[in-house]
């Protein structure tokens, strides 16, 4: 079942055309990435979905209805963890629920069991400054998914991390996705990240952005078994070919 569908979306800022006739869809339980160069308007797509920017042309549908009727469909995870330094981790995790009107006590009851699953057990009373970058990002994802929205919007969530931590977080996210099968839309400029995490990838051109290619990632899951040193040789070759294909598309779009 298609959850999200964008049809011929266009967006300009004054005379600057950013998006031109963008069309894409995400099925229930699917992990889809939007991949493109810096400045291609990837974050603008999320701004339109969340209502931060008005749409100028096209249509956005969620479960077949106009998205304006489903603004609460998304849980959004930004590039930076955006944790509040004066709140303990348990209270950072519950912030979205409290904003929706849930009492702090009730929100804590929902959040506490998730700390172990997210690798944060024992840090409920810690402050963000006491956590590593990877732990902070796991906490930010916990805060995102606990809102129990229909779909996750992930805006380059690991872009600020060092290479080793980023690779570890990608493996962790793929494992978590295997367990929960969230419907997720990721924007990234990291080709390897997109191939590793996604079922499908939409490749954008430089600004004004159009969808120049849609790539199906036909690699076995769980992907943690497809990391170098663990991946079957044929799957490794397929992943490398996919990355090369996408890089070639980006370079020539």
Q: What is the pLDDT of residue 54?
A: 87
Instruction: State pTM to two decimals.
Output: 0.88
In the DSSP assignment, the letter for residue 230 is T
Interatomic CA distance for residues 45 and 34, integer angstroms: 9
Query: Domain-by-domain residue ranges, the chain?
Result: 2-252
3 in Cβ contact with 74 (< 8 Å): no
At what angle are helices 163-180 and 133-145 packed, to 10 degrees? 30
- 66 exposed, middle or buried (CB, 10 Å; 0-12, 13-18, 19+)? exposed
* Distance from chain centroid for Cα 73: 14
50 in Cβ contact with 120 (< 8 Å): no
Per-residue pLDDT 10s for the chain (253 aa) are 899 999 999 999 989 999 999 999 999 999 999 998 888 888 899 999 988 888 889 999 998 888 876 567 888 888 777 889 999 999 999 988 888 888 888 999 989 988 988 888 999 999 999 998 888 888 888 888 888 788 999 998 887 777 888 888 888 888 888 888 889 999 998 898 999 999 999 999 988 999 999 999 988 887 765 455 555 677 778 888 888 989 888 888 7
* Annotation: CATH topology of 2-252: Rossmann fold (3.40.50)
């Amino acid at each position: 079942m298609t959850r999200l569908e964008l049809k011929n979306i266009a967006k300009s800022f004054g005379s600057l055309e950013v998006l031109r006739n963008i069309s894409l869809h995400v099925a229930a339980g699917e992990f889809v990435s939007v991949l493109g160069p810096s400045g291609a308007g990837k974050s603008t797509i999320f701004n339109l979905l969340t209502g931060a920017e008005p749409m100028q042309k096209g249509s956005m549908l969620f479960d077949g209805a106009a998205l304006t009727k489903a603004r609460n469909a998304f849980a959004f995870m930004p590039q930076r963890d955006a944790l509040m330094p004066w709140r303990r981790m348990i209270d950072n995790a519950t912030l979205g629920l409290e904003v929706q009107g849930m009492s702090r006590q009730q929100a804590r009851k929902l959040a506490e069991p998730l700390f172990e699953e997210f690798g944060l057990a024992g840090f409920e009373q810690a402050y963000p400054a006491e956590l590593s970058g990877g732990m902070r990002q796991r906490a930010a994802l916990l805060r995102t998914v606990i809102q129990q929205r229909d779909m996750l919007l992930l805006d380059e969530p690991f872009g600020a991390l060092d290479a080793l931590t980023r690779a570890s977080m990608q493996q962790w996210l793929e494992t978590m996705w295997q367990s929960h099968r969230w419907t997720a839309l990721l924007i990234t400029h990291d080709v390897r990240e997109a191939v590793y995490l996604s079922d499908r990838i939409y490749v954008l051109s430089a600004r004004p952005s159009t969808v120049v290619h849609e790539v199906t990632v036909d690699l076995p899951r769980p992907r943690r078994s497809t990391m170098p040193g663990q991946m079957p040789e044929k799957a490794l070759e397929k992943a490398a070919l996919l990355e090369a294909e996408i890089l070639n598309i980006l370079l020539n779009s």
